[in-house]
Amino acid sequence: MQRAIKNITQEELAHAVSVSRQTINAMEKGKYVPSTVLALKIARYFGKTVEDIFTLEVED
């Protein structure tokens, strides 16, 4: 994840996008799917597109 590449803590990212550290943790573990707004905030924070940050996993 971009957070690790940029050496940013979960707490720092959470604060920047106005969510809890637990939300960031759950997203990284695949237990929480972010809303479109949150995905856009995270992408903007890193200067990337949503597609650069998140991947769509389609279940058959």
Could you give the maximum distance between any two Cα atoms of the chain, in Å? 36
pLDDT at 60 over 80: no
- pLDDT-derived band at 56 (thresholds 50, 70, 90) equals confident
CATH of the domain at 15: 1.10.260.40
Structural domain tally of the chain? 1
What residues make up the domain containing 16?
2-50
The 10s digit of each residue's pLDDT in 3-47 is 888 899 999 999 999 999 999 999 999 999 999 999 999 999 999
pTM of the model: 0.86
Residue 17 lies in a domain: yes
- Any idea which residue has 């720092």 for tokens? 12
Whether residue 41 lies inside any domain: the answer is yes
With respect to residue 60, please indicate whether it lies within any of the assigned structural domains: no
Q: Mind listing the pLDDT tens digit for each residue in 35-55?
A: 999 999 999 999 999 999 988
What are the angstrom distances between the C-alpha of 44 and each of 2, 10, 11, 17, 31?
A: 12, 16, 17, 10, 22
Tell me if 58 is assigned to some domain.
no
Residue 6 domain flag: yes
Query: Is residue 27, in this structure, part of any structural domain at all?
Result: yes
Note whether residue 19 is domain-resident: yes
